[in-house]
Amino acid sequence: MVDRQAAEAGIELVRGSRLSVGLHVVLDSRGELLVPPEDAPRELERQLVRFEELVGRAPSHVDSHHHIHRDPRVLPAFLAFADRHALPLRDHSIAHHRPMFYGRWDDTSHVEQVSVDSLLGILDGIGDGATEIGCHPGYAQGLNSRYKGRARVRAADADGPACPGTGGRERHRADRVSPAVTVTLDALAREAGTFLMVAMDQRESLRTMLAQHGHDATDERMVRFKLAVARELAPYASGFLIDRHFGYREIVRDRLVPPSTGLILAADALEQPPGGVVEDTDLDEGVDAETARENGVVALKLLIVWRDDERRARRVETARRFVELAHAHGLLSVLEPVVRAENREDAIVEAARELGGIGCDLYKCEVPTHGAGEPEEITEWSRKIDSAVPCPWVVLSQGVDPDRYPMAVEAACRGGASGMLAGRAVWTATLGADDPTDLLRKHSVPRLRELGEIVDRHGRPWCEKGGAS
């Protein structure tokens, strides 16, 4: 941060050493750009010149304050800058960034994240290749830092668990993830340990929605819509869900989902008549999990239609096979049951109790009352779900009025949810446009930012949810 007051003093501490020093670009103030996007290239060059004046050499790498380089408005400038100067750029180099050791984000201290157990949990989840672990300033005599209160607490409790009462991140991996899996839920989470994930794996349902908005809902139209959503929303999401039929190949080929966003591949074959709802599902035998992992996929997702009928046991067994498939290939498993029952809310809780305990890493749940109830009612049902499911869980948005979805997410998070994995509540308003790009930027991006604030403020960090007993 070359323009900050302590920059020169900080450089004196490393002058003459072999320590790598990177350029931490500042282009925003609390999320608002300090310069117009078209002026970003000039500002990047100015800060590089100032860096070289201070340090006496080129930076070893480049990243940005508040990760502003992930903003689609300035990301092209950062990519061109990094390429021009041959600088590794965070999220776009061989190094994988692990952010959970910071201990402070959104102006809130998370003292539980800065501990021996937390660091060991991060190290336990590191795979092959280079890894970057970030840390804010610690505590020292005379240090005047916004982080020193958090650091002082950790200095007094260095042996405390990463997640109070649960044994933290390390226990979750040991209890719930196969030894073959070298990735943790950090791969799908925000820095706060919560989830803000976009679903774009709809197939015949999307075709129906496009037709209802007056479009000729061809395969090409569906792919085009999905790619626009990926391009515009993935940089703001912690995870992005896609199916293999419509858009997956292009997303992988064109790298539309940035490395900072966990890519999830749907592994479900749907029984769904044209214009109708999904009647049943099975494992998609066409999903190549090994190739998916090579393509950067970090998790698989399976939709299960839960009914109390003669096929109930078979569906549970399908869910078990799915978890085994994901873990055997080093991938996380996301299980998404939707219920078909007269007493819907009771069935949601029963499905969570039955399916949540089979070993999935993340449970994707329907919103109680379809979000139509009062917040207190949604929270009460969410507490029952939370008691039933032993792993972290998030809510979907199908059947929820998009205008009520932020309220529903907050209510669910107050009841124990760790965030959301949703599509319709985020991008439905853009379906009518021939090219949804402008509406995605004007409507969906602000909605996603709003939901991000909600999940970080009210959601439970995933590592605080206890492992299987």
pLDDT number for residue 468:
28
What is the 3-class SS of the chain, one letter each residue?
CCCCCCHHHHHHHHCCCCCCCCEEECCEECCEECCCHHHHHHHHHHHHHHHHHHHCCCCCCEEEHHHHHHCCCCHHHHHHHHHHHCCCECCCCCCEEECCCCCEECCEECHHHCCHHHHHHHHHCCCCCCEEECCCCCCCCCCCCCCHHHHHHHHHCCCCCCCCCCCHHHHHHHHHCCCCCCCCHHHHCCCCCCEEEEEECCCHHHHHHHHHCCCCCCHHHHHHHHHHHHHHHHHHCCEEEECCCCCHHHHHHHCCCCCCCEEEEECEEEECCCCCCCCEEEECCCCCHHHHHHCCEEEEEEEEEECCCCCHHHHHHHHHHHHHHHHHCCCEEEEEEEECCCCHHHHHHHHHHHHHHHCCCEEEECCHHHHCCCHHHHHHHHHHHHHHCCCCEEECCCCCCHHHHHHHHHHHHHCCCCEEEECHHHHHHHCCCCCCHHHHHHHHHHHHHHHHHHHHHHCCCHHHCCCCC
Going by pLDDT thresholds of 50, 70 and 90, the confidence category of residue 156 is very low
Determine the average pLDDT of the residues in 209-214. 95
Highest mean pLDDT among 9-18, 166-175, 302-311: 302-311
CA distance 434 to 228: 11
Per the CB < 8 A criterion, the answer to whether 326 and 300 are in contact is yes
Cα–Cα distance for residue pair 441/9, rounded to 1 Å: 41
Question: By mean pLDDT, which of 169-173, 318-322, 449-453 is the weakest?
Answer: 169-173
More confident residue, 153 or 410: 410
Which pLDDT band holds residue 236 (cuts at 50, 70, 90)?
very high
Going by C-beta distance under 8 Å and a sequence separation of 6 or more, which residues neighbour residue 156?
A: none
- Given 148, 226, 301, 364, the catalytic residue: 364
pLDDT beyond 80 at 126: no
CA nearest neighbour of 103 among 132, 137, 69:
137
pLDDT band at 117 (very low <50, low <70, confident <90, very high): confident
Residue 212's pLDDT band, with cuts at 50, 70 and 90, is very high
Mean pLDDT, rounded, for 246-253? 95
Query: Is the pLDDT at 157 greater than 90, yes or no?
Result: no
Task: List pLDDT tens digits, range 90-109.
Answer: 878 777 776 666 665 555 55
Distance CA 232, CA 157 (A): 42
Do the beta carbons of residue 379 and residue 412 sit within 8 Å? yes
Q: How far apart are CA 256 and CA 252, in angstroms?
A: 7
Question: Is the pLDDT reported for residue 467 higher than 70?
Answer: no
Higher pLDDT, 370 or 30: 370
The confidence score (pLDDT) of residue 109 equals: 58
Residue positions counted in the chain: 469
Whether 150 has a pLDDT exceeding 70, the answer reads no
Domains of the chain are 1-93 (no CATH), 99-162 (no CATH), 185-464 (3.20.20.70)
240 pLDDT exceeds 50? Answer: yes
Lowest mean pLDDT among 114-128, 181-195, 279-293, 424-438: 114-128
Q: Choose among 312, 374, 372: nearest CA to 337.
A: 312
* Res 173: pLDDT: 36
pTM: 0.66
Quote the pLDDT of residue 180.
Answer: 53
Q: Is 364 in the active site?
A: yes
Which residue in 257, 299, 266, 312 sits closest to 392, CA to CA?
A: 299
In the predicted model, is pLDDT for residue 122 greater than 80? no
Q: Measured between alpha carbons, how far is 307 from 305 in angstroms, rounded to an integer?
A: 6
> Please, is 374 exposed, middle or buried when counting C-beta atoms within 10 Å of its C-beta (0-12, 13-18, 19+)?
exposed
303: Cβ contacts below 8 Å, ≥ 6 apart = 266, 268, 270, 278, 281, 336, 337, 338
pLDDT of residue 166: 33
